[in-house]
Amino acid sequence: MDELSEHCDGNYAGYDDTDCLSTDSRGSMGFINHIREVHLIKTPNDDRMLMSVKIEGKTLTMEADSGSRYTLISANHFKSLQLPQTSISSTPVTLRSYTGHTFKPIGLARVNVQRANKKFTGDLYIVGFNTEPILGRQWLRELQIFPEPVQTISTSIPIPKNAHDAENALKEEFADIFKEDVGEVPNYKISLKFKEPVKPVFLKPRTVPFSLKPLVEAELNKLEAQGIITKTQFSEWGTPLVVIPKPNGDVRICADYKVTVNPQLMDSRYPIPIIDEIFSKMDGGKIFCTFDVHKAFLNLTVDKQSAAALALSTHLGTYQVNRLFFGIKVAPNEFQKFMDEMISDLPGVCAYFDDIVVKGQTLEECWANSRKLLERLRQFNLHLNPSKSKFFRQELTYLGHTISSRGLQKTRQKVEAILDAPKP
């Protein structure tokens, strides 16, 4: 257990040994390394629920915390148990404090646990700062101390009485999510798969219309400031820009990867959902919300080899692209794969690329499902376009169709040519 030595002195990031850790159970993605929310709060000593648990036959007093999914122990307390036969493995899990600081556990130990006549083998997360041992929900349930499922919606948050109040409550609670920022999904990288042999292609930059140059340069500078692109002095790859003017007077910068990278990429086999399947999952809903992920692809990081291959050739120089960029042929499949995994366990939620729909049979259910979605988006550092969000409607448009408690209908725009046709 020598690897614990450097972590056994002092506190972490200003937290002291009276801090109480609490992890949130949001999220379950098989291949994505989660960031788990960790709330560090002061708990009065006379208000704590302490109990003795045997770990590998050694008695340890722990604080029961039904708000924590995981059981945690400091490196100091773990060393005091003197368990030389217990191995410590690395863990991909990352913890994030209530204040936004992230840190990784030192390791994970699989240990034999006993209390009274209850025995099981459980995961024990070891952290590198001083805190009382925390007995989380997973262990509490195994010990049948709290046999009933823990409610995922805090009872301290009042349920809104009408759609207007529900919308305002979501916007207030998740104001950070409704801010148009480009996030970065933590601990998740996309690796583009190339056909062999790979032949780098560099094409000189295309001429940008003089009237659009200031807008293009401003957008490139913005992308660089956000860490989405990085200027490089040398690159074997270079793809010219495709500049698309937007109705609001801005520009969208894409890349013409069809002449450089796309022909050399292996196809992604991840299926894009059939729209009818999404609508079938909305069956039974009476209240609906829709949300749009801001700058969808740009939230996903690519690995170093992919970043080099996606380099942009511009009149300002060459930029390495650090995120999944517009124009990559596998980008839609990769983003859909990520979205499907992220929302897989959320009730009443479906996504078609960056367009998300939430249903509920009642306002309360739709509100609760929407809160769970927004909590998940916060966990993965994603943001929404507030102007494209629609809240708690009995009828709304999604993917060119109208959905309501009556079922699915074509929008008038889709059939107006037939409806407005003159009688023969």
pLDDT > 90? residue 238 = yes
Q: Is residue 154 part of a domain?
A: no
Higher model confidence: residue 8 or residue 199?
199
Asked if 266 and 357 sit in the same domain, the reply is: yes
Same domain, 213 and 277: yes
**Based on the domain organization, do 133 and 170 belong to the same domain?**
no
Does the pLDDT value for residue 95 go beyond 90?
no
> CATH no. for residue 64?
2.40.70.10
Is residue 94 a part of any domain in this protein?
A: yes
How do 19-20 and 312-314 pair as beta strands? unpaired
Is position 404 within any domain? no
The pLDDT value recorded for residue 413 is 65
31 within some domain: no
Structural domain contains residue 89 = yes
What's the total number of domains in the chain? 2
Question: pLDDT tier at 67 (50, 70, 90 boundaries)?
Answer: low
Q: Are residues 107 and 244 in the same domain?
A: no
Answer yes or no: do 201 and 296 share one domain.
Answer: yes
Any domain includes 406: no
Which domain CATH number covers 314? 3.10.10.10
Is 368 part of any domain? yes
Same domain, 135 and 219: no
Range(s) of the domain holding residue 87: 50-143
pLDDT at 231: 96
Residues 389, 241 share a domain: yes
Contact, 194 vs 330, CB < 8 A? no
pLDDT tier, 26 (very low <50, low <70, confident <90, very high otherwise): very low
Whether residues 59 and 122 fall in one domain:
yes
Residue 296 lies inside a defined structural domain of this protein: yes
Same domain, 251 and 375: yes
Residue closest to 404 by CA, chosen among 364, 361, 365, 373: 361
Biggest CA–CA distance in the chain, Å, is 91
Same domain, 175 and 251: yes
- 405-422 pLDDT per residue, tens: 766 666 666 666 666 767
